[in-house]
Structure 1
Amino acid sequence: MTITQTVTVQATAPQTVDGLKPPPPPGSKTVIDPFGTYTGVIDRDGTYLVGVDIMPGMYRTAGGAICSWARLGSLDTSDIIDSWKGSGPQRIEIKESDTAFLTQDCGTWQMMHVPSVTGLG
């Protein structure tokens, strides 16, 4: 005797943390040109690993109507070091000690400069 059971699974709406949407699915977001050089531009929404996908440094954007960003201490979106949500231009320093940077609806971030390295020399 064979018993067949049909189960319907309903997707639940993603939870938000401090008004930020959950990070997009993993994928290549690295902003490195074909020659292996970091371009200094973050031009799409996503979660970027510091030192892997993006370099630490000072960035700026013209912003968007409802721009939101967060510096993260881990890949957990609730592990927020600093965050902001609003409109207008933004300027942020992504630090070497940050694990990731999350940006949504902020437009293009342009690197202004790389922070100086202390302890060398």
Structure 2
Amino acid sequence: MSDAPANGRVFATPAGVTLASVEAIADGATRNFVLKLRAGRFHGFVVRRGDGVVGYVDRCPHMGVPLAQRLDDYLSPDGTRIVCSWHGAIFRLEDGECLGGPCPGTRLTPWPVTVQDGQIVTV
């Protein structure tokens, strides 16, 4: 599932890649990850909620650009929604569904991640 366009970006990662300790992300915060793979670079981000995490490909479904203009800045001020800082699209944290903005009927691409033995790992 890793199609590599001319710009060298891929939109999936293999399972079993250890990203970081879950403690490296504050509860309720996000962190960007860029992985260099054979097929190209993968850009994603992880949101920590307590002991759990949810991950998404860092790509707005509206324009195909990364969501954050500033590193690790993916959430609304109250931390309850993911926001595209370029076009104001708002996404539900739990499933990436677009709730408002220029992308009705779309959703963020999930990036399967989990916590194993205190480490964030791709699934």
TM (norm. structure 2) is 0.27
State the structure with more CA Rg. 1
Question: Which has a greater percent of strand?
Answer: 2
